[in-house]
């Protein structure tokens, strides 16, 4: 799940909503232009091994895509030692929603109510709010169930977090899975009364 390209392919096969895009490695500029125009601008150019906002660039046209590809690849190599790049549709003004989940080695899974971390600076979370003020019970259940479906599809166990982007229509898309207990886990503990470490 640490590889963004492979995790998105796995999410698609598990029936999890994913951002429209090209789920393969992009190698040269002609591919960048072709894929970006097929998806339709704006697009997000991203490092497969990326994280913490590194190796990401938004492009609104071919010129920005060319520059974004070069910068993303260079930053990915310098930060992660892995220059693989992929391209997906840029979701305008999304909400960043994450679901805490728990799974054991016997196939039992549960999701816990979401944290919203849309307030960010340079793609780094600044404020976590739980539960999300934009969430409704139907969307919450759909998102939580998809988080569990993803974990189940790769036999993941222990604590983890599945992150989604949600647009203004409450359509949501898988972003990534953090296969660890995140530093923000106490926020979920505060609203659920569950000691996640225990």
Which distant-in-sequence residues (6+ apart) come within 8 Å of 55 by Cβ?
46, 47, 49, 72, 73, 75, 76, 79, 80, 85
- In the residue annotation, 176 being an active-site residue is answered as yes
Residue reference for tokens 């926020």: 187
| Contact (Cβ atoms closer than 8 angstroms) between residue 7 and residue 1 | yes
CA angle 65, 124, 75 (to 5 degrees): 40
DSSP-assigned letters across all residues of 100-115: EEEE-TTS-EEEEEEE
Omega into 97 within 30° of 0, i.e. cis?
no
Helix, strand, coil tally for the chain in percent (to 5): 35, 30, 40
Q: Which residues pair with 96 in a beta bridge?
A: 165
* From 176, 184, 189, 198, the catalytic residue: 176
| Contact (Cβ atoms closer than 8 angstroms) between residue 158 and residue 103 | yes
**Which residues participate in catalysis according to the annotation?**
176
């Amino acid at each position: 799940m640490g590889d963004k390209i492979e995790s998105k392919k796995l999410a698609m096969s598990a029936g999890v909503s994913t951002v429209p895009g090209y789920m393969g490695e992009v190698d040269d500029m002609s591919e960048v232009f072709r894929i970006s125009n097929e998806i339709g601008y704006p697009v997000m150019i991203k490092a497969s091994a990326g994280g913490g906002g590194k190796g990401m660039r938004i492009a609104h046209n071919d010129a920005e895509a060319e520059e974004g590809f070069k910068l993303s690849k260079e930053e990915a190599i310098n930060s992660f030692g892995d220059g693989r790049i992929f391209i997906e549709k840029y979701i305008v003004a999304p909400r960043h929603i994450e679901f805490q989940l728990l799974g054991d080695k016997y196939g039992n899974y549960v999701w816990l109510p979401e944290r919203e971390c849309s307030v960010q600076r340079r793609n780094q979370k600044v404020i976590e709010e739980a539960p999300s003020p934009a969430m409704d019970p139907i969307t919450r259940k759909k998102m939580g169930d998809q988080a569990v479906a993803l974990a189940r599809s790769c036999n993941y166990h222990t604590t983890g977090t599945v992150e989604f982007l949600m647009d203004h229509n409450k359509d949501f898309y898988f972003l990534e899975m953090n296969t660890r207990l995140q530093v923000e886990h106490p926020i979920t503990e505060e609203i659920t009364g569950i000691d996640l470490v225990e």
